[in-house]
Amino acid sequence: MRQVIIVAGGIGKRMGAEMPKQFLEVDQKPIIVHTIERFRSFDSGMGVIVVLPEQWVSYFQDLAVKFNINCQVAIGGAERFQSVQNGLELATADVVAVHDAVRPLVSNETLRNVFDAAESTGAAIPVIALSESLRRVSDNGSVALNRSEHRLVQTPQVFRLDILKAAYQQPYDPVFTDDASVVEASGKQISLVSGNVENIKITTPADLQLFHSFLQ
C-alpha cells in the first residue's frame, strides 16, 4: 500500500482570497479535491492523509462527504515541517509521498516515476530543467549561473516511511524548505526523476487562471 500526505496547512495570503487557496473552486471543484483525485486516479488504493489548519477541518470534512473522499485528517503546525510531522503520525505504508495540496496537475507518469524510484532507492523527488537564465544575487551585485547544473524541484516527494520518520526526528531548521532537504540533512541521498512542467504550485491568481486553462 502507498500513502500520500497532502499538506494543506497554509492560508494563501498571496492569492488575496477570503479562504485558503486549496479550497478555491475551479470547474466547480475545490483545488484540493482535484489534487486528491489525481492520486486516486493513479492508484485507487492510495491512502490519503490531509493536513489542514484546525479551523478548516470541518469545512474540509463537508467537502469529503460531498465529493465522496475517504481520507484521514491531521492538524497543521506552525511551519510546514510541523505539519508533515503531524501527518506522519498517521502514516503506516512502506512508502509515503508528501505533496502540496495546490499542485493538482501532477501527471500519472511523474507519479509512476517518483514512486518507482523511491521504492528502489528509498528517497526520490521530481524535478524539471530550467528554461530561463539564472543569476545569483549578493550585496556585491550578481553573477550568471550555469542553468544546466540546476533543477526546479516539485512534489510529490516520496520516501520509505522509516527514512522519512527518522529524518523528521531532527530539530526544525529554517533551511528545511521541503522534505528532501530534511531527509538529506539526515544523511540520505535523494534520487531525481523527471517531473512534468504542468505540475505548477498554485500561489497567485495568475496560477489559478493557468490551472483553469490546463483543464480546458
Query: Is the model more confident about 17 or about 77?
Result: 77
* pLDDT value for 10: 62
pLDDT digit string, tens, across residues 160-192: 999 999 999 999 999 999 999 999 999 999 999
pLDDT digit string, tens, across residues 123-137: 999 999 999 999 999
Backbone angles phi, psi at 170, to 5 degrees: -70, 155
Residue 206 has pLDDT above 70, yes or no: yes
Residue 15 has pLDDT above 90, yes or no: no
pLDDT, average across residues 2-27: 81
CA distances to 84, 112, 132 from 8, in Å: 10, 23, 29
Confidence of residue 14 (pLDDT cuts 50, 70, 90): low
pTM to 2 decimals?
0.94
> DSSP states of 35-80 as a string?
HHHHHHHH-TT-EEEEEE-GGGHHHHHHHHHHTT---EEEE--SSH
Residue 12 has pLDDT above 80, yes or no: no
Share of the chain above pLDDT 70, in %: 96
Domain spans, the chain: 2-215
pLDDT digit string, tens, across residues 75-105: 999 999 999 999 999 999 999 999 999 999 9
Which contiguous run of DSSP H or E holds residue 135? strand 134-138
Residue 5 has pLDDT above 80, yes or no: yes
* pLDDT value for 1: 85
Query: Which residues contact residue 65 at a Cβ distance below 8 angstroms, ignoring those fewer than 6 apart?
Result: none
Helix axes 108-121, 31-42, angle to 10 degrees: 60
Mean pLDDT of the chain: 94
CATH of domain 2-215: 3.90.550.10
Residue 16 has pLDDT above 90, yes or no: no
Residue 117 has pLDDT above 60, yes or no: yes
pLDDT, average across residues 189-204: 96
